[in-house]
């Protein structure tokens, strides 16, 4: 895809969002299924079902996907797609490359070993190794715009509000769900 094709593809969407801003707000969702007694859940990704479980640092055996790894997977996927879109819109050829995310976790926090240890990533590093002839100034523009428009990157940077609800079923309700 070249810059003109990308503009043509996105032009009607951009116009609709300008004309009716409410149409630009789209709710994405993800679901996981809890079943059995294993410390795991099955996540439907839209393309496959991934079984997530404990990281070996929290007692897992390493055979199941770790949610922390999945968060980094989401970051590199979003950053890679965003980079490609930015480069395409700028007419910059990216022949190939890699996107890598690394994050530091202190498992004392999530295991409750040390109440002062943070639960979650202390730091995440995102890096790109690109096969391109672009000069430093063009790459700086690509980096700045990739950071600006990458949904997952911006969500992590902005520490988006997250809320939870718990709807519990009594054993009788679980055995006989209402129609």
Among 22, 145, 135, 152, which residue's Cα sits nearest to residue 85? Answer: 145
Q: 39-54 pLDDT, tens per residue? A: 999 998 878 899 999 9
Please give the helix or strand (H or E) that residue 114 lies within, else none: none
Note whether 153 and 125 are within 8 A (CB): no
Compute the CA torsion angle 45, 50, 55, 61 (nearest 10 deg): 180
53: β partners = 40, 66
Q: By residue range, what is the domain housing residue 147?
A: 3-159
Q: What is the pTM assigned to this prediction?
A: 0.85
Give phi and psi for 58, each to the nearest 5. -120, 10
Give phi and psi for 30, each to the nearest 5. -140, 150
Residue 160: how many other CB atoms lie within 10 Å: 8
Domain assignment present for 172: no
CATH of the domain at 84: 3.30.300.20
Handedness of CA 6, 12, 18, 23 (dihedral sign): negative
Domain assignment present for 174: no
Count: domains in the chain: 1
Domain assignment present for 166: no
Q: 154-174 pLDDT, tens per residue? A: 999 998 888 888 887 666 665
Percent of the chain with pLDDT over 90: 73
């Amino acid at each position: 895809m070249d810059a003109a094709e990308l503009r043509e593809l996105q032009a009607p969407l951009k116009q609709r969002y300008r004309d009716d801003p409410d149409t630009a707000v789209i709710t994405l969702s993800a679901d996981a299924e809890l079943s059995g007694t294993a410390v795991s859940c099955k996540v439907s990704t839209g393309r496959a079902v991934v079984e997530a479980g404990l990281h070996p640092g929290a007692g897992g055996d390493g055979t199941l996907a770790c949610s922390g790894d999945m968060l980094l997977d989401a970051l590199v996927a979003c950053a890679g797609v965003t980079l490609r879109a930015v480069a395409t819109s700028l007419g910059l050829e990216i022949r190939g490359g890699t996107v890598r995310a690394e994050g530091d976790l202190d498992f004392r926090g999530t295991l409750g070993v040390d109440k002062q240890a943070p639960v979650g990533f202390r730091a995440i590093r995102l890096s790109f190794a690109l096969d391109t002839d672009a000069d430093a100034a063009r790459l700086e523009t690509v980096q700045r715009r990739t950071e600006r428009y990458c949904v997952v990157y911006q969500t992590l940077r902005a520490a988006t509000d997250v809320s939870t609800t718990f709807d519990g079923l009594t054993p009788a309700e679980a055995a006989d769900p209402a129609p």
